[in-house]
Amino acid sequence: MLSLLGAFAQAQHTNRMLGEPVDVSSDFRDFQNTFFFADKLASFNAADAKGTISWKRSSVYTRQAFNVNTILPQDLKMLDFPGPAYEQNPELAFRVDFVSPRTVRIRMLTSPVEPKTFDSPMLVGEPGKDNSWKYTRLANGHLYTSKYAKLLIEESPFRITLMDESGKRLTDTWRWADNDSSQVKVLPFNFIKKGVDNSREINPVFSLSPNEKIFGCGESFTKLDKRGQKVNLFVTDPQGPETDGMYKPVPFFMSSRGYGMFMHTSAPVTCDFGNTYVGANKLFMGDEIMDLFVFIGQPKDVLNEYTNITGKAAMPPLWSFGTWMSRITYFEQKEGYEVAAKLRENKIPADVIHFDTGWFETDWQCDYKFSPSRFSNPQKMIDDLKQQGFHISLWQLTYFTPKNKYFSEIIDKNLHVKNLKGEMPYEDAVLDFSNTETIRWYQDKLGGLLKMGVGAIKADFGEAAPLEGIYASGRSGWYEHNLYPLRYNKAVAEITKQTTGDNIIWARSAWAGSQRYPLHWGGDAANTDIGMEAELRGGLSFGLSGFSFWSHDIGGFVQPSPENLYRRWLPFGFLTSHSRAHGAPPKEPWLYNAGFVKAFRQSAELKYKLMPYVYAQAKNCTETGLPMVRALFVEFPDDPGAWDVEDAYLFGADIYVAPLMENTGSRTVYLPGKTNWIDYQSGKSYVPGWNTIACGDIPCIILVREGAVIPHAALAQSTDKIDWKNITLKVYGHAPAAKGLLCIPSDNKLINLELTKKGNAYQYSGKPVTGVNFNIQ
């Protein structure tokens, strides 16, 4: 029997190719596993909302009917020996904590053993405690009520129901009785004890309602609404944004019915959002405990509550919002000078020059030193370019090949992830960021570069932490693999902040909590219309997962960008929080033609003139948890049409952007809300609903919400030259009053802009802003 189990475990291991996502749902179709279904509330103390749940022991079997086999459960008599030492139907701990009037935390154990305290890097601290929830005893349950929500816990059969403040059901846990009217028998809320190793995994199951939509789960490139999809939350390198794999999965989602959920775990998770049964939301969690935060409210409320728990983005430096010029790769010091000179010569505003994999002596061999044969004086280059308004960004990664100069040192000092034997799991040494000694060693290397004046470190990769590895934390890769990007992001961000004072990294991988360490880009997009479309979906989904800042490789990454695609991608790239031209050469506009230089310049100038708007919206995002690249329904939750749009977005609160996904001069777009939208380029007004709109000189549909005040600055060639003492306030439309935001970088405080129409002109009616002159248009 043991040999059979060993063979089964080996089969599970070999069926998955290295780097592929883990599908946890397959464990819940395994006949070797013992199932336990949430049956009834065995005990409960209403005062502290703690109790126990009785879990009914079961197994699964196949039933044949008319040449079709289905899987069904049946009660199972315990055969464990010695019998008196174990429970037939275990009664295990369950508790509810009220974090805020909008946030509830629900925890369940699958074992009698309380888990050890773990300082979760996903959380910003111990969640708060809210005493505003009122308790009512019911005949068969317990009702808790806040200003915004109701939580009902029914005793037998066990069920949790989430309602809004009016008592409208938002969702509830699935029970056996919910299958009575259907031939399809959905397995209700359960956990399994795996036959292969006796470990546990839990499967909360919730109801889905007609027309309910699901969003989030990280930077997902598939259809924005996840209803009907199966989503594996497992950090992987999908080789681009055109598949269902994710560099940045996040165990969080929100529903169009007014709630969201955060699965506080780093184990693999598979979310079946009505994929195998249209009315059931099955959350297959590879964890032995369930720690679930539930948020109630509109999308803005849910994002704010979620980021109160996991953290809001730090404010990146002003210069990071400018143009990043890059390719794969600049190899020499003289190229840095040449690119800087060409940018200024062609009057293309820019703030960053990025050196990718080739600044070492050997391409891709990270040794944290500029190549002495190609960089005669890197310190002088950094200083000279800084004088011209340029910051330097440098690529690196945390995998060390056997030929890398640090390979032996990393092994000798035990700074790497190990296998079950304590040796190397891969050919490459992978730094173990759960080891404080590793962090010190690594940050010392980065710190030397940052002290030279380097502005940002590109934290590439991070998706391949060994799943079967053993980490210094004492945990296996089952729990550390998904945490690796978060630990990696944190290590780079902290040494950068400590050395330069700036909140900035440039990272590809992420997990819940990584939003605290901006920023992240969308990976290696194909140079195709589909690649651009997928990137936008990924950015929107990422923003709906608590991340305020995001970027993507303008024009695509893999091959030289076709000029027409690159032209259409430019405004999308510059109307994103952070804007980088990167990928296979040529990426520099002057290597195309004079017309393309003009197109590149126009999009860059657009953003630099809008920098007061960009910076203020960014600051607001750091305080609210909102994304800069924003799905329409976040601002317009009461507009049903807004929930269906995934190929256009709001840049901040007031600017609508619809990129041209194909080589056309116009687009049909859905405009949300009840007020008109003003074309930023032509000034023409459009009514809400469906409109076909021609683009202007900049190949993109760019509109402004009527009644918005958009602050502008005079054009500058770098952000350090922007004149913040003279701001132009442009009012769009003819509303009697107009509003907007401003944030002056010198004090980083948000200012509410308020203008009132007097006759045919607008006058500033908000609080005075010291040291700033307004020109109202």
List the catalytic residues: 460, 463
Question: Which secondary structure element, helix H or strand E, spans residue 50, and what is its range?
Answer: strand 50-65
Hunting for tokens 């256009």 — which residue is that?
648
Question: Which secondary structure element, helix H or strand E, spans residue 502, and what is its range?
Answer: none
Long-range contacts of 533-537 (CB under 8 A, 24+ apart): 533/647, 533/661, 534/221, 534/241, 534/242, 535/221, 535/241, 536/572, 536/629, 536/646, 536/647, 536/649, 536/659, 537/220, 537/221, 537/222, 537/223, 537/224, 537/241, 537/646
What per-residue string of b and e applies to 214-245 under the rule 16 or more CB within 10 Å gives b? bbbbbbbbbebbbbebbbbbbbbbbebbbeeb
Burial of 671 (0-12, 13-18, 19+ CB in 10 A): buried
Give a three-class secondary structure readout of 241-262: CCCCCECCEEEEEEECCCEEEE
> How remote is the C-alpha of 707 from its chain's centroid?
31
Distance, CA of 447 to CA of 368 (rounded, Å): 10
**Radius of gyration of the chain from its Cα atoms, rounded to whole angstroms:** 27
The residues, ordered by sequence, that sit 6+ positions from 22 with a Cβ below 8 Å of its Cβ are: 16, 232, 234, 268, 270, 286, 467
Tell me the residue type at 730: K
Residue 185 token pair: 């028998």
Residue 280 token pair: 């059931």
Secondary structure letter of residue 708 according to DSSP: B
* HSE, side-chain direction, 13 A CA sphere, residue 255: 24
The partner residues of 730 in beta bridges, in order of sequence, read: 710
Distance, CA of 643 to CA of 527 (rounded, Å): 28
Residue 56 token pair: 């009914």
Secondary structure letter of residue 115 according to DSSP: P
Residue 226 token pair: 């996840």
Please say whether the dihedral angle defined by the alpha carbons of residues 226, 161, 124 and 485, taken in this order, is positive or negative: negative
Helix (H, G, I), strand (E, B) or coil at 12: helix
Distance, CA of 659 to CA of 680 (rounded, Å): 14
The partner residues of 190 in beta bridges, in order of sequence, read: 37, 203
Residue 408 token pair: 């032996």
Residue 278 token pair: 């249209």
Please say whether the dihedral angle defined by the alpha carbons of residues 386, 550, 125 and 289, taken in this order, is positive or negative: negative
Beta strand 456-459 with 391-396 is parallel
Residue 137 token pair: 């005893």
- Percent helix, strand, coil in the chain, to 5, is 25, 30, 45
Distance, CA of 753 to CA of 772 (rounded, Å): 12
> How remote is the C-alpha of 502 from its chain's centroid?
21
Cα 91 to Cα 88, 108, 287, 650, distances in angstroms: 9, 11, 18, 49
Secondary structure letter of residue 193 according to DSSP: E
